[in-house]
Amino acid sequence: MRKIALSILMISISFIAFAQQEDVKMIKSIFDKELTEGQSYEMLDYLTSKIGARLSGSPQAAAAVEWSKQVMESYGFDRVYLQEVMVPHWVRGEREKARVLNSSKHGTVELNVRALGNSVGTGAIGVMAEVIEVNAISELEKLGKKAIENKIVFFNRPMDQTQITTFSAYGGAVDQRVFGASEAAKYGAKAVVVRSVGTVTDDYPHTGTLIYDENQPKIPAVAISVKDADALTEILADTQPTKLYIETHCEMLPDVLSYNVIGELTGSEKPDEIIVVSGHLDSWDLGTGAHDDGAGCVQAIEGLRIFKELGYKPKRTIRAVMYMNEENGLRGGKKYAEVAKEKGENHIAALESDSGGFSPRGFRMTGDDADLKKVRSWQPLFEPYGIYDFDKPGGGADIGPLEDQGTLLIGLMPDSQRYFAYHHTDNDTFDKVNKRELELGAAGMAALVYMIDKYGL
């Protein structure tokens, strides 16, 4: 009896060892393939350098839809299709202007600003008003209407440089950009200027979305470069009152029809279990959306391409999804989840890369404890590639809407030290992406999808 139990144990141990060996080998071949014959970098070059910035509703966004569809077709995925989604159509218009007017000590000073996404414009007439500086939305209430009415509110809280994960620092500063305009409008402000949410002191304003409260007047909002935010603080310390002139020509046009782009390898054993690997196709109009999020899109496509190259036939259905409109509306992500629900699709896991094309360090997850535990148990297989952080929570903006369908949400977590130097600026361009780092991320994602496909959740 004991002998039999022992031999069963031996067989199962050797089976596990064999399975592990097979996984080690497969993961190595994914990385080897990507690092020697990868096409993600080439794809990203085309998307950013030939097509360019891809703001929702723009001709470039439409071109990117067509391009990603054609690319996936050319790789011979089983199904490639578009999913209709209506998206906001915000346009920036003529270059923004901002200047300090006749400060007694500093004279006239030009400031680098860019309108925040979704903002109304000032029009040619501009806005001219006295500036009041605050460091948090909560300060507005203390100041009250008397101090704020008819002024331009300058939100100047910097990112906390002591945070090691820059995404945490971003989270701690971004409220003034998203909600500052409507919060200031409650007290009668005429416009807002928001310190760029970035880690570097330079001349590049960081745009980004703002959300208006429909019950408040919509007032113009601009981001100011970190360097000029510091300069403005200095001017305000020297000269009171200080007047500012701001001119922006942005406007929100009617919604337009756009698309999520989906490529699929159909599962051979469990086609109804879907694994998503994804990024968002739209970008801001400054720069060319190389890290945010061209990188994520090409990494997603690349995963499926590598499987085909290696002759790997997934058991489950694997979808590369390129969402439209993450930046100023999230319509694509919402639409994808809505359609999935309507069709009763079963998404077991959704992986998004939307934190830059830098060296991957881990996968951050949100979901069921048992799923998390299972994925974590694979961590040793990823360590040789510098991927070790399998913590929670995590995910991505576009896959978030799948959460209530019981999908395990996973976000690729790259090294975060450089992301907020480029994020939403003129500087988010192809030359800032390192080929090997981009490829390591693509291979890491493909390797994780392989494990989920093989063992299920």
At 419, which helix (H) or strand (E)?
helix 419-422
Q: Is the dihedral of CA 36, 39, 40, 45 positive or negative?
A: positive
DSSP 418: T
369: its two tokens: 């404890």
Question: Which 398-427 residues touch Zn ion, going by CB under 5 A?
Answer: none
| Smallest gap from residue 93 Cβ to Zn ion (A) | 23
Q: Give whichever of 54 and 89 is closer to Zn ion, judged by the CB atom.
A: 54
Placement of tokens 């000269």 in the chain: 239
Q: Please, which residue, 273 or 292, has the CB nearer to Zn ion?
A: 292
Rounded to the nearest whole angstrom, what is the least distance from the CB of residue 408 to Zn ion in the complex? 21
What does the alpha-carbon distance between residue 48 and residue 294 come to, in Å, rounded to a whole number?
7
Q: Which is nearer to Zn ion, 133 or 354 (CB)?
A: 354
One symbol per residue from 241 to 280: x for binding Zn ion (CB under 5 A), - otherwise; what is it? ----------------------------------------
Residue choice 183, 285, 293, 426 for contact with Zn ion (CB under 5 A): 293
| Residue placing its CB nearer to Zn ion in the complex, 205 or 314 | 205
Min CB(283)–Zn ion separation in Å: 8
For residue 259, give both structure tokens: 């698309």
CB of 305 to Zn ion, least distance (A): 22
List, by residue number, the catalytic residues: 326
Give CA–CA dist 427/20, Å, rounded.
43
Q: Which residues neighbour 215 within 8 Å (Cβ) at sequence distance 6 or greater?
A: none
Distance CA 132, CA 123 (A): 22
Site for Zn ion in 352-371 (CB under 5 A): 354
Report the alpha-carbon distance of residue 87 to residue 212 in Å, rounded: 17
Please report how close the Cβ of residue 43 comes to Zn ion at its closest, in angstroms. 17
Provide the token pair at 402. 């799948």
Stretch that binds Zn ion, among 91-99, 263-271, 346-354, 415-423 (CB under 5 A): 346-354
How many residues of this chain interact with Zn ion, rule: CB under 5 A? 3
Question: Applying CB under 5 A, which part among 4-12, 238-246, 286-294, 307-315 lies near Zn ion?
Answer: 286-294
- Closer residue to Zn ion, CB minimum distance, 290 or 447: 290
Spatial separation of the C-alpha atoms in residues 400 and 398, rounded to whole Å: 6
Cβ proximity to Zn ion, 205 vs 396, nearer residue: 396
CB of 419 to Zn ion, least distance (A): 10
Length of the chain, please?
A: 457
For 109-136, the DSSP string reads: EE--EEEPBTPPP--TT-EEEEEEEESS
**Closer residue to Zn ion, CB minimum distance, 90 or 187:** 90
Span of 133-141, 199-207, 347-355, 401-409 interacting with Zn ion by CB under 5 A: 347-355
327 or 371: CB nearest Zn ion: 327
Least Å from the CB of residue 356 to Zn ion: 9
What minimum distance in Å lies between the beta carbon of 101 and Zn ion? 36
First to last CA, the chain: 34
Among the listed ranges 7-15, 153-161, 291-299, 420-428, the one in contact with Zn ion (CB under 5 A) is 291-299
Point out which span in 137-145, 284-292, 332-340, 418-426 binds Zn ion (CB under 5 A): 284-292
Task: Please state, in angstroms and rounded to a whole number, the distance separating the CA atoms of residues 166 and 199.
Answer: 8
Which residues make Cβ contacts (< 8 Å) with residue 418, sequence separation at least 6?
356, 358, 432
Q: Using CB under 5 A, which residues numbered 207 to 236 contact Zn ion?
A: none
Any alpha helices (H) in 127-197, and if so which ranges? 138-148, 166-173, 175-185
Binding test (CB under 5 A) with Zn ion, winner from 34, 183, 292, 371: 292
With contact defined as beta carbons under 8 Å apart, do 445 and 352 qualify? no
Q: How many CB atoms lie within 10 A of CB 87?
A: 23
Q: CA-to-CA distance for 153 and 291, rounded, in angstroms?
A: 31
Which of 367, 292, 360 lies closest to 323, judged by CA? 292
The stretch near Zn ion (CB under 5 A) out of 13-21, 242-250, 270-278, 287-295 is: 287-295
Residue 170 vs 378, nearer CB to Zn ion: 170
> Are the C-beta atoms of 114 and 96 separated by less than 8 Å?
yes
As measured in angstroms, the least distance from the Cβ of 292 to Zn ion is: 4
Q: What are phi and psi of 251, to 5 degrees?
A: -160, 155
Would you tell me which residues interact with Zn ion (CB under 5 A)?
292-293, 354
